[in-house]
Chains A and B, each alone.
Chain A
Amino acid sequence: MNKKFWLLCFFAIISVIVGLFFGAADFSNRELLSCLVDSCSSEVNEMIFWEIRAPRVLVGFLVGAGLAVAGATLQNVTRNGLADPYLFGVVSGAGLGASIATLLFDSNFAESMGLLKLFPEISFSLALPFAAFFGALFSVILVQLLVTRTFGSKTEHMLLAGIAVSFMLSALSHFILFMAEPFAANKVIFWLMGSLARIETWYAWVILPVLIVSVSLLLLYGRHMDALLIGDENAKTLGVHVGRLRFLSLATCAALTACIVAYCGGIGFVGLMIPHIIRHWLGVTSRTLIIGCVLLGGAFLVWVDVIARIALPDQEIPIGIITSAIGSIFFLLAMRQRNT
Chain B
Amino acid sequence: MPEKPNLIAMHINYKIATKAILSDIDISVHKGEVLGVLGPNGAGKTSLLKILSGQVFCQGNVFWKQKNLKEYSEMQRAQQIAVVNQINDSVFSLNLQQIVRMGLLPHSSLISRATPDDILRIAQALEKVGLTEKTQQTFNSLSGGEQQRGLIARALVQRADLIVLDEPVNHLDVYYQHQVLQLLTSLARSLNVTIIMSLHDVNLAAHYCDNVCLLNQGKLIAKGTPEAVFTTKQLSEVFRLPCAVTEGASNKSFHVNFYPPYQTDHHLTKGDC
Tell me the A residues contacting B by CB distance below 8 Å. 75-76, 79-81, 220-221, 223-224, 226-227, 229-231, 233-234, 236-241, 279, 284-285
Partner among A220, A237, A238, A240 whose Cβ is within 8 Å of the Cβ of B111? A220
User: Which of B73, B92, B108, B111 is the most central at the interface, judged by chain A CB atoms within 10 Å of its CB?
Assistant: B92
Determine if A227 and B102 form an interchain contact, defined as CB atoms under 8 angstroms apart: yes
Cβ–Cβ < 8 Å partners of A233 in chain B: 55, 85
Q: Could you list 28 A-B pairs, sorted by A, with CB under 8 Å?
A: A76-B92, A79-B91, A81-B91, A220-B110, A221-B110, A223-B102, A223-B105, A223-B110, A224-B105, A227-B102, A229-B90, A230-B90, A230-B99, A231-B88, A233-B85, A234-B85, A236-B74, A237-B78, A237-B82, A237-B85, A238-B103, A239-B74, A239-B78, A239-B105, A239-B106, A240-B74, A241-B74, A279-B93
The complex places the Cα of A241 from the Cα of B74 at a distance, in Å, of 7
Determine if A230 and B106 form an interchain contact, defined as CB atoms under 8 angstroms apart: no
Tell me the B residues contacting A by CB distance below 8 Å. 53, 55, 73-79, 81-83, 85, 88, 90-94, 98-99, 102-103, 105-106, 108, 110-111, 158
Determine if B105 and A230 form an interchain contact, defined as CB atoms under 8 angstroms apart: no
Given A237-B53, A240-B74, A227:B94 Cβ within 8 A: no
Cβ–Cβ < 8 Å partners of A234 in chain B: 83, 85, 88
Given A81-B91, A221-B110, A227:B55 Cβ within 8 A: no
Inter-chain contact count A-B, CB under 8 Å? 71
Least CB distance, A74 to chain B, in whole angstroms: 13
Determine if A238 and B102 form an interchain contact, defined as CB atoms under 8 angstroms apart: yes
- What residue of chain A has the Cβ atom nearest to residue B155's Cβ? A237
Determine if A238 and B88 form an interchain contact, defined as CB atoms under 8 angstroms apart: no
Cβ–Cβ < 8 Å partners of B105 in chain A: 223-224, 227, 238-240
Least CB distance, A1 to chain B, in whole angstroms: 12
The complex places the Cα of A79 from the Cα of B140 at a distance, in Å, of 15
The complex places the Cα of A241 from the Cα of B75 at a distance, in Å, of 8
Least CB distance, A299 to chain B, in whole angstroms: 22
The complex places the Cα of A75 from the Cα of B91 at a distance, in Å, of 10
Determine if B92 and A284 form an interchain contact, defined as CB atoms under 8 angstroms apart: yes
The complex places the Cα of A214 from the Cα of B111 at a distance, in Å, of 16
The complex places the Cα of A275 from the Cα of B159 at a distance, in Å, of 33
Given A221-B110, A227-B105, A284-B92, A239:B99 Cβ within 8 A: no
- What residue of chain B has the Cβ atom nearest to residue A227's Cβ? B102
Determine if A238 and B78 form an interchain contact, defined as CB atoms under 8 angstroms apart: yes
3 closest A-B pairs (Cβ-Cβ)?
A239-B78, A239-B75, A237-B83
Cβ–Cβ < 8 Å partners of B99 in chain A: 230
User: Which of A230, A236, A240, A285 is the most central at the interface, judged by chain B CB atoms within 10 Å of its CB?
Assistant: A230
Least CB distance, A245 to chain B, in whole angstroms: 11
The complex places the Cα of A234 from the Cα of B83 at a distance, in Å, of 8
Given A237-B55, A239-B74, A285:B85 Cβ within 8 A: no
Least CB distance, B47 to chain A, in whole angstroms: 13
Cβ–Cβ < 8 Å partners of A237 in chain B: 53, 55, 78, 81-83, 85
Partner among B53, B94, B110, B111 whose Cβ is within 8 Å of the Cβ of A285? B94
Partner among B55, B88, B111 whose Cβ is within 8 Å of the Cβ of A230? B88
Determine if B78 and A230 form an interchain contact, defined as CB atoms under 8 angstroms apart: no
Determine if A236 and B55 form an interchain contact, defined as CB atoms under 8 angstroms apart: yes
Determine if A285 and B78 form an interchain contact, defined as CB atoms under 8 angstroms apart: no
Contacts A81-B91, A224-B110 supplied; 17 other A-B pairs, CB < 8 Å:
A75-B92, A223-B102, A223-B110, A226-B102, A229-B90, A230-B88, A230-B99, A231-B90, A236-B55, A237-B55, A237-B82, A238-B105, A238-B106, A239-B75, A239-B76, A239-B106, A284-B92
Least CB distance, A334 to chain B, in whole angstroms: 12
Cβ–Cβ < 8 Å partners of A220 in chain B: 110-111
The complex places the Cα of A233 from the Cα of B53 at a distance, in Å, of 12
Cβ–Cβ < 8 Å partners of A79 in chain B: 91
Cβ–Cβ < 8 Å partners of B108 in chain A: 223
The complex places the Cα of A227 from the Cα of B158 at a distance, in Å, of 13
Cβ–Cβ < 8 Å partners of B76 in chain A: 239
- What residue of chain A has the Cβ atom nearest to residue B77's Cβ? A239
The complex places the Cα of A81 from the Cα of B111 at a distance, in Å, of 27
Determine if A279 and B74 form an interchain contact, defined as CB atoms under 8 angstroms apart: no
Least CB distance, A276 to chain B, in whole angstroms: 9
The complex places the Cα of A218 from the Cα of B139 at a distance, in Å, of 24
Cβ–Cβ < 8 Å partners of A285 in chain B: 94, 98
The complex places the Cα of A168 from the Cα of B73 at a distance, in Å, of 41
- What residue of chain A has the Cβ atom nearest to residue B78's Cβ? A239
Given A223-B105, A238-B102, A238-B106, A229:B78 Cβ within 8 A: no
Cβ–Cβ < 8 Å partners of A81 in chain B: 91-92
Cβ–Cβ < 8 Å partners of A223 in chain B: 102, 105, 108, 110
The complex places the Cα of A223 from the Cα of B103 at a distance, in Å, of 11
The complex places the Cα of A293 from the Cα of B189 at a distance, in Å, of 48
Cβ–Cβ < 8 Å partners of A284 in chain B: 92-94, 98
Cβ–Cβ < 8 Å partners of B102 in chain A: 223, 226-227, 230, 238
Cβ–Cβ < 8 Å partners of A226 in chain B: 94, 98, 102
- What residue of chain B has the Cβ atom nearest to residue A224's Cβ? B105
- What residue of chain B has the Cβ atom nearest to residue A238's Cβ? B105
Least CB distance, B244 to chain A, in whole angstroms: 39
